[in-house]
Chain A
Amino acid sequence: GQQVMQIPQYQHVQEGEDFTTYCNSSTTLSNIQWYKQRPGGHPVFLIQLVKSGEVKKQKRLTFQFGEAKKNSSLHITATQTTDVGTYFCAGPGRGSTLGRLYFGRGTQLTVWP
């Protein structure tokens, strides 16, 4: 079945260092979404990318959607302690699974001061 893989599973950085998480889908995606879950909290939507090669920025966060629409990345420049949490990518199903999202396992980011 359709799968979304995400690496790394864990990342520990010192405050000020950059961070990147990578997402790969087994199928071509119509879009890809990114979510952030703070420790003890619930996932919160960050962004959706739709176009091949699309790049979007939100302050220190840069999101990319690959040309083949099968991979994506989230890059955080100069991490801060407020960036701590787990970042998930998710892609939509197709055909009989239209209407559901397939989530990656997430990358848990720890930032020490």
Chain B
Amino acid sequence: DGGITQSPKYLFRKEGQNVTLSCEQNLNHDAMYWYRQDPGQGLRLIYYSQIVNDFQKGDIAEGYSVSREKKESFPLTVTSAQKNPTAFYLCASSLVAGVTGELFFGEGSRLTVL
């Protein structure tokens, strides 16, 4: 089955620790995205990548980092510099770079910082 896999689904961490969320897709999509969702805030774009080894900041990139070493993988690191990391994180992909078609979302990772 083709799709996007995010892991872990739930994650608890202590304040001050870096956390890496995994996102893998087997759809052969060019573009991948990370969104953060807080109650009542909609979907806010953190980073996106149109091609391997390239990525762009979204609207709330501070305190986050990403890499795109392989087409199918786009991990997100939530660093200790992120002031309010507790949130629901969604990874998405779309077929063609530079053409904003349908986004396919993973099931999300819920991060709680204690």
With a 10 A CB-CB cut-off, give which of B58, B103, B106 has the most chain A CB atoms: B103
- Tell me whether B33 and A100 are in contact (CB under 8 A): yes
Closest CB-CB distance, B92 to chain A, in whole Å?
8
Closest CB-CB distance, B53 to chain A, in whole Å?
15
In the docked arrangement, what's the CA distance between A104 and B50, Å? 22
In the docked arrangement, what's the CA distance between A45 and B33, Å? 15
In the docked arrangement, what's the CA distance between A93 and B90, Å? 19
User: Which B residues have a C-beta under 8 Å from some C-beta of A?
Assistant: 31, 33, 35, 40-43, 45, 48, 50, 56, 58, 90, 92, 97-108
Q: List 13 A-B contacts (CB under 8 A).
A: A33-B102, A41-B107, A42-B107, A48-B101, A48-B102, A90-B103, A98-B98, A99-B98, A99-B99, A100-B48, A101-B100, A101-B103, A105-B40
User: Which A residues have a C-beta under 8 Å from some C-beta of B?
Assistant: 6, 9, 31, 33, 35, 41-45, 48, 88, 90, 92-93, 98-101, 103-106
Kindly list 10 other residue pairs between chains A and B, CB separation below 8 angstroms, not including A43-B92, A92-B100: A9-B40, A33-B103, A42-B108, A43-B90, A93-B100, A98-B100, A99-B100, A100-B48, A101-B103, A105-B40
